[in-house]
Structures are given as structure tokens and as C-alpha cells.
Chain A
Amino acid sequence: QQQVKQSPQSLIVQKGGISIINCAYENTAFDYFPWYQQFPGKGPALLIAIRPDVSEKKEGRFTISFNKSAKQFSLHIMDSQPGDSATYFCAASSAGGTSYGKLTFGQGTILTVHP
């Protein structure tokens, strides 16, 4: 059962534009929401993460927006660059108990930024 749903599956943006990727989760026990960036032939690498006690987190051109009541969170990439072309995964996990740091991933979004 997929507990984190991600959309869109693919996204094409012009250089300088805004890329937006959305995720929705079901498990209210989730309390950590990371985004991973993956380049071809490489493993996923942490891009930015948020905890549900804040509604927004910004790091450079990357911003996570979090809506706890709607159980949704999104990644915004401002001034998108060709070097941002990659696959992006949202994920969720919960600390403590029997969770053991296990991540539940969304399906992934292939982002292409045209020059």
C-alpha cells in the first residue's frame, strides 16, 4: 500500500521558471518529511527536509511547504536551472517505536529543465 503519493510523474520547465512537486501522505504518525534528489547512475541524496512543527523551510532556491491539516507537502524550486534536471523523491518517516528510521517514498518525479 502506497502511503505517500507524489505528482506529477514528470515535469518540464524552462530555465528560470518555478518547478513544483506535490506529495500527500496518509499516516498521521509521520513526523519527518525529506526530499531526495537523484541524478542518473547515482543514489538518492538528501536535498531538504521538514518537520511538521513548521509550515515552510527554505534553503537557497529550494523551499518545502507543509500543510499538516491537509496531509500534504510540496517542493518548490525557484529559478530552475538545467543542472536541477534529476529525479526527485518525497519521503516520510516517524521516529521512535518500531519505525527504526524506515522511509516511505513517493513514486518520484522526473524534472527536466530546458535551457
Chain B
Amino acid sequence: NAGVTQTPKFQVLKTGQSMTLQCAQDMNHNSMYWYRQDPGMGLRLIYYSASEGTTDKGEVPNGYNVSRLNKREFSLRLESAAPSQTSVYFCASIRDSGSNQPQHFGDGTRLSIL
């Protein structure tokens, strides 16, 4: 059982380049989330998708876009990468966002912007 799978695991970009981070879950979960993790900041929510066909902004959405491709997949796109977007990105999912349940996380994408 793979759970939440993120690709790629590592990426180095130059300032101004674009890139899409991929996330897929095989648990038939309805809601999916993108977080970024920075030292001393914890995890901060970028975007989320409460259900297939819906997306909404989180705490730090600027510079990012998302697509809920289907129930399994939720991608995060950086249109013009900036050094401030150097971070570790985590995707998470939950079966039903209407009740408190633990989120299941992938192992992250480590992104460096030069």
C-alpha cells in the first residue's frame, strides 16, 4: 500500500524556471493538501482541495497554482520559481475533511531554487 506518493524527490531549478510537483494517493481519500516546510516555521498550508473539482488557497499561496486532476492526483505548479520558494514540499490527504481525522503525508519533494 503506497499511501501518498510524491515526485520528484529532489529538484534544483534556476530562478524563473517553472516546474510541477506531482502527488498521488491510493487510499480513495477525498481531500488533499500541499504544505511547505521551512526551518523554524513548521508546515504551512499552500493550497488544498476539499473534494474533487475544488481547490482553495491556504496560508501561503502566492507564487503557486494547483490542479486537482482527479480524485487521486493533486499537482502543485511554480510558474516562475524564486529563491524564496526553496523548501521541502509535502502533499497530504484525508478521507473526509468534514470530521477530524489524521492527515497522511508523502515523503516530500526537496526543491532548491538557485
Give residues in A with beta carbon < 8 Å to B. 2, 4, 6, 9, 31-32, 34, 41-46, 49, 51, 89, 93-96, 99-103, 105-108
Contacts and interface: CB of A to CB of B under 8 A. Distances in A.
A89 B107 contact: no
Contacts of B99: 95-96
B100 A102 contact: no
Given A46-B102, A102-B58, 16 more contacts: A32-B100, A42-B107, A43-B106, A43-B108, A44-B105, A46-B103, A89-B42, A89-B43, A96-B99, A100-B56, A101-B31, A101-B101, A103-B103, A107-B40, A108-B40, A108-B42
Interface stretch (B14-22, B44-52, B63-71, B79-87): B44-52
A45 to B, nearest CB: 7
A41 B107 contact: yes
15 contacts: A4-B42, A6-B42, A42-B108, A43-B92, A43-B106, A43-B107, A44-B43, A46-B103, A49-B100, A89-B43, A94-B100, A95-B100, A100-B31, A101-B100, A102-B48
Q: For the side of the interface on B, what is the size category?
A: 20 to 34
A interface secondary structure, majority: loop
A76 B95 CA distance: 29
B43 A105 contact: yes
B100 A51 contact: yes
A96 B98 CA distance: 5
Contact of B45 (A34, A89, A103): A103
Question: Which 7 pairs from chain A and chain B are nearest by CB?
Answer: A43-B105, A32-B100, A101-B97, A105-B42, A46-B102, A100-B97, A100-B50
